[in-house]
Amino acid sequence: MAADPFDAPLLFDLTGRGDLVLSGNDRASFLQGLVTNDVRKLRPGEGCPAAFLTPKGKLLADLVVLCAPDELVVDTPPELAEKVEALFRKYLMFGDVAIENRTGTTCVLHVEGKGTEEILRKGIGQDGPAEPHASVCVESIRVVRESRGGFDGFDLRGPRPLVEAARARLLALGAVPSPPSVLETARIEAGIPRWGAELTEDVLPDEAGLPARGWVSYTKGCYIGQETVARIRTYGHVNRNLVGLILEGDVPPPAGAEIRAGGARAGRVTSAALSGRLGTAIALGYVRREHAAPGTGVEVLLPSGPRPAIVASLPFGL
């Protein structure tokens, strides 16, 4: 098997991720009624993932809420920044809430892999936060604990000149600049769903396993789409689930490739990669729940023909 690139601290430029800021006395109660997680319980330095849903409970957007002393910072995938801002403004009918989109002026770096905490400590002069999605502000740079590939990792968010200076220090300390494809492969190996692939407007939170990942509060009260989420938990189940697939061979299937079981369509692939750590092609995809148990044999239809695959637990056993 190939050497694991994450045996070193890798540095990724994620500039372009959404940076939306809510301020004003009513900012927490405003966001509380819109998203799936309990924003009101957050204290400065804490954070949580959440989803924005349609009234029928399907995904409109995914985000991470970071609590600062006088504002809530909302991190989104790049393609969702304008959409989430528009959603906020749509529902802002009254109250003491101001919305600012800082995406264009915020630089975002991500460092992840073995040795990350040590070089971060040396590079910024203090330890990063310990809990997932927690953050600390160091000289106007917000340092957020985020695992985007299944390893210890941190985002550095702030004005470009300050973040670029931090980048130079991290590189001097041994961080390795890396392309997005390396982080994407690690994300798939870790089974982390991504907007535009596993997370789309056709997906229910339970189908993607988001409640188990801490995206949903069942005690916070009403929010848009809450009735569907509660009904699934109380009375039923979803008809498909996000799973991992281990394929024979080293050719990853294209996104959208059909998954078949017993000669019938069972689902589709959402993301795939050649895993150097597993030495084979792997994929994420949705399959009907009767075929979602780990160890179930299926076929994935590649352009070259059907390829045997095995349903695997997530994250993949690395």
CA dist 57 and 91 (Å) reads 17
> Which pLDDT value is given to residue 2?
61
180 and 264 fall within a common domain: no
- Tens-digit pLDDT string for the chain (318 aa): 567 899 999 999 999 999 999 999 999 999 999 999 999 999 999 999 999 999 999 999 999 999 999 999 999 999 999 999 999 999 998 899 999 999 999 999 999 999 999 999 999 999 999 999 999 999 999 999 999 999 999 999 999 999 999 999 999 999 999 999 999 999 999 999 999 999 999 999 999 999 999 999 999 989 999 999 999 999 888 999 999 999 999 999 999 999 999 999 999 999 999 999 899 999 999 999 999 999 999 999 999 999 999 999 999 976
Last residue of a domain, one of 145, 162, 186: 186
285 and 144 fall within a common domain: no
Closest CA to 242 of 259, 226, 229, 254: 259
181 and 41 fall within a common domain: yes
- Is residue 273 included in any domain, yes or no? yes
Report the number of distinct structural domains present in the chain.
2
CA separation (Å) from 18 to 56, 141, 168, 184, 287?
Answer: 25, 16, 23, 18, 31
- Is residue 58 included in any domain, yes or no? yes
Asked if 205 and 49 touch (Cβ cutoff 8 Å), the reply is no
CATH number at residue 266: 2.40.30.110
158 and 305 fall within a common domain: no
- Is residue 179 included in any domain, yes or no? yes
> Which pLDDT value is given to residue 317?
77
Domain of 299 in residue numbering reads as: 239-318
Asked if 77 and 18 touch (Cβ cutoff 8 Å), the reply is yes
Last residue of a domain, one of 155, 186, 217: 186
> Which pLDDT value is given to residue 94?
86
- Is residue 39 included in any domain, yes or no? yes
247 and 176 fall within a common domain: no
Owner of token pair 């907007």 = 195
193-197-201 Cα angle (round to 5): 95
CATH number at residue 159: 3.30.1360.120
Residue 91 CA neighbour count, 13 Å, CB half: 17
180 and 263 fall within a common domain: no
